[in-house]
Structure 1
Amino acid sequence: MSQRNAFLVTVLSQMHAPYRWCGKGERDSTTGQRVFDCSGLVTWAFHEVGGPDWRADTNTDALWTRCTPVPEVELLPGDLVLYHRKGDPTDAEHVMVHVGGGVVVGASGGGSTTLTLADAAKAKAYVKTFSSLDSRARRMGIRRLPFRP
């Protein structure tokens, strides 16, 4: 299996995992569930399949600068779709993973106040799918992780 495919399988294996601000795949102390924020899901899954361990120093802005730009016509499953902060098209705020057919997956629905499992449940914040690249406003662009050939 290619590193790209293994990354996708790993991301999808975390469907419905709860969102936690700054969550990088660590396990919740009460339930043992892994918790993620949007960039944490990407960096954890990439590391799990042999990529560099960017978890400690990578947020959404860093993914924008570290990864290769990709034109939309070259979009592949496993590419990252990034969205910018309202009012600042140069500030990456959110990232999701394209899984094919325009469908994206990401840890979504939470924010800086989503710190507990109760917060995540109240906000319906967890790893979930969206049916369109534009299901979230302000798409910034597409980036590609440095997968091994």
Structure 2
Amino acid sequence: MPITSQRAAFLALVLAQMHSPYRWGAKGLKPTGSPRLFDCSGLVTWCLHEVGGPDWRATHNTDRLWDVCTPVESEAQLLPGDLVLYGRAGHTTLHGRPVTREDPNHVMVYVGAGVVVGASGGGSTTLTLADAQAAGARVKTHPRIAYRSDVLGFRRLPFTS
């Protein structure tokens, strides 16, 4: 599959957000005098919309990205701009109850050569710029896909051009 112009623009825009602070639930918000703020799925949905993709900012989180994007069977088939999702596989327990489906809770964008980039290092307690700075939570790279041990799988966004 060739690298499309929309895919290339998406990846360039993701990379242009390097070091933007993480904020839980943020989808590209830009407070006056501040940089844009993102959580992991917010970075993906904001960048996709900015390059002419669907506006999923209000409706898509890691679960929805997992459900609606096309599966990529293996790491060997990843293209720059594909998604790497992390979380729990089915048939485990969460709060004492069985989880019978995959439960993604984090997403990164594949850059190539095993490198991923995304908004990471934060969580539900990262609500202010001070929280993000204290946690080192921002858009950043990791030198390998398995920087977390809970790689769940891979997905491809619906690029059209």
* TM interval, short-chain normalised: over 0.9
SS of alignment partner, residue 146 of structure 2: coil
Partner of 2:128: 116
Matched, 1:74 2:86: no
CA contact (8 A) 2:122 2:137 kept: yes
Give the letter aligned to residue 134 of structure 1: A
The CA deviation string for residues 15-68 of structure 1, in whole angstroms up to 9 with x for no partner, is 000000000001134x32100000000000000000010000110000000100
Matched, 1:38 2:50: no
SS of alignment partner, residue 69 of structure 1: strand
Give the letter aligned to residue 99 of structure 1: V
Partner of 2:65: 63
Partner of 1:53: 55
The CA deviation string for residues 68-126 of structure 1, in whole angstroms up to 9 with x for no partner, is 00022211000000001485571100000001111000100000010000000000000
Partner of 1:143: 155
Give the letter aligned to residue 31 of structure 2: D
Partner of 2:137: 125
Mapped partners of 1:85, 1:12: distance in 2: 27
Q: Please, what is the CA RMSD of the aligned residues?
A: 1.4
Gaps of 5+ in 1: none
Of residues 17, 20, 24 in structure 2, which corresponds to 1:21? 24
Gaps of 5+ in 2: 93-98
Partner of 2:9: 6
SS of alignment partner, residue 134 of structure 1: helix
Partner of 1:98: 110
CA contact (8 A) 2:88 2:152 kept: no
Mapped partners of 2:109, 2:30: distance in 1: 21
SS of alignment partner, residue 129 of structure 1: strand
Which structure is larger by alpha-carbon Rg, 1 or 2? 2
- Displacement of 1:136 after TM fit? 1.3
Mapped partners of 2:40, 2:78: distance in 1: 19
SS of alignment partner, residue 8 of structure 2: helix
In the TM superposition, structure 1's runs of 4+ consecutive aligned residues that sit over 6 Å from their partners are none
Give the letter aligned to residue 141 of structure 2: T
